[in-house]
Amino acid sequence: MVALDTAGKGSPGRTIALCLVWAVIIMAADQWTKELILRNYQLGEATHITGFFNIVRAHNTGAAFSFLSNAGGWQRWLFTGIGVVASVFIIWQLYKHPTQKLFCFALASIMGGAVGNVVDRLMHGYVVDFLDFHAMGWHFPAFNVADSAITMGAICLILDELMRARRER
């Protein structure tokens, strides 16, 4: 989307529509990959891909890095609510700042990932994770396409803010 409309041309409505389409693409890709994992792997089953990467089926009832994963079940609704509230806030921000292309791209990426994980929580009671990076006995917590989009969106938000601050100097 940033590349589609970087010159500032096009209507704000077009930017918002592109952002919402981007969020839907992320959510759909996330759900499709998770469905492949659920169909083809048992919980804990893994496929060694490289010396530093596996595909593994993991369930996360918590948030990032399994935060609150053993909280007894109430966290499912807390994190679902946070995802819904964040999505509403993001849509409001998209309408408020449609000319800020990188900002909107970042927010749409975060929203697509958040909705993907909310769908998991509602359907399964947990988030399906499957990307497992490791090195020298250390494993990064397994994650998924939604988590990748959220991370990419956060990085783009930081970049957007750094660029904005630099322009103001």
What residues are annotated to the active site?
129, 147
| 3-state DSSP assignment of residue 54 | strand
Helix-, strand-, coil-residue percentages of the chain, each rounded to 5 = 60, 15, 25
AA identity, residue 29: A
Q: CA angle, corner 83, sides to 149 and 152, nearest 5?
A: 15
For residues 124 and 113, what is the distance between their CA atoms, to the nearest angstrom?
A: 16
Q: Contact at 8 Å (CB) between 143 and 129?
A: yes
For residue 112, the tally of other CB atoms under 10 A from its CB is: 29
